[in-house]
Amino acid sequence: MSLIKACARSINLVRRNPPLCNASLRPSPLGLSLHPTFRRTMASAMAKRLEGKTIVVTGASSGIGKSTAKEFARTSPKNLKLILTARRIDALKALAEEIKAEVGDGVKVLPYQLDVSKPEQINNFVPSLPEEFKEIDILVNNAGLVKGVAQAPDIKAEDMSIMFDTNVTGLINMTQAILPIFKKRSEGGRGDIINIGSIAGREPYAGGGIYCATKAAVRSFTESLRKELVASRIRIIEIDPGQVETEFSVVRFYGDKAKADAVYKGVEPLTGDDIAEIIVFAAGRRENVVIADTLVFPSHQASAGVMHRKS
């Protein structure tokens, strides 16, 4: 969490929990006084729970994945390992530098080039990790994309394959690669799998036939997995964003930025940071708490197709 956000939260906490005794106050970074109960906040409990964890984020070179990497680092900056994966290795290296500059050496970052649509690359992923990064605790299956708005019978075979190979087979292969690490642990296994679905997986729309189908598959796989692992401590979490402004629409329109910008005209979409905060919140709950499922909209969205646009 950024300093500004932490301070804003502390102000709200002080407002909601007025100090009982001035002698117990200490100055905050903004010169305000914090009640001792604030020292034991949700944020610090979350930092403690995440401490020492090794976290894999797929699709960390941009958007929600990039924000998630930063949010984990800010939330638990003392002792964390992040394995950041995507195809664009230069972007991952730059992100590793950004994180180091912001939080210091407590967070060890491993940028790792990985195309999740290539099963052979996933097969090689865990075996090729340095020893100190092998004990993975959290997998954020975020890599995903949409290509085009074509409707049947004009959907390109290539786009169909890219979406299914990345969003569905890639996510399942990553899960299968990492689950054995979780299952070796006590009580039938421990670890978190956080799958990024979409409103599109709940509510199919015209022009999204393939993307919606891939996200419905993610939802179905996620629910099966939660049932299969019910006797373990492995938490299966799904987070379904509504509209988020990232590179998503640029990719959808094959790099046409003007078309992508038009998607967000007159609305105020979510940001990658908004979803990242929810991902980290879910991972930072007490072990017996599973945020199984969330649907997250910006204020002006009420379904896949219901958006209030300012003219």
Ligand X SMILES: NC(=O)c1ccc[n+]([C@@H]2O[C@H](COP(=O)([O-])OP(=O)(O)OC[C@H]3O[C@@H](n4cnc5c(N)ncnc54)[C@H](OP(=O)(O)O)[C@@H]3O)[C@@H](O)[C@H]2O)c1
- Catalytic residue positions? 211, 215
Which CB sits closer to ligand X, 91 or 160?
A: 91
Which CB sits closer to ligand X, 223 or 247?
A: 247
Q: How many whole angstroms separate alpha carbon 174 and alpha carbon 188? A: 20
End-to-end CA distance of the chain: 34
Q: How many beta carbons lie within 10 A of that of residue 128, not counting itself?
A: 11
Which CB sits closer to ligand X, 116 or 179?
A: 116
The partner residues of 192 in beta bridges, in order of sequence, read 138, 235
Least distance from C-beta 140 to ligand X, angstroms? 10
The residue ranges that bind ligand X (CB under 6 A) are 58-65, 86-88, 91, 114-117, 142-145, 166, 196, 198, 241, 243-244, 246-248, 251, 272
57 three-state secondary structure: strand
Which CB sits closer to ligand X, 34 or 59?
A: 59
**Best CA proximity match to 278, nearest among 255, 295, 253:** 295
76 three-state secondary structure: coil
| Residue 126 near residue 51, CB atoms below 8 Å | no
Q: How many whole angstroms separate alpha carbon 119 and alpha carbon 117? A: 6
Least distance from C-beta 66 to ligand X, angstroms? 7
Q: Compute φ and ψ for 306, nearest 5 degrees.
A: -100, 100
Least distance from C-beta 23 to ligand X, angstroms? 48
Least distance from C-beta 182 to ligand X, angstroms? 21
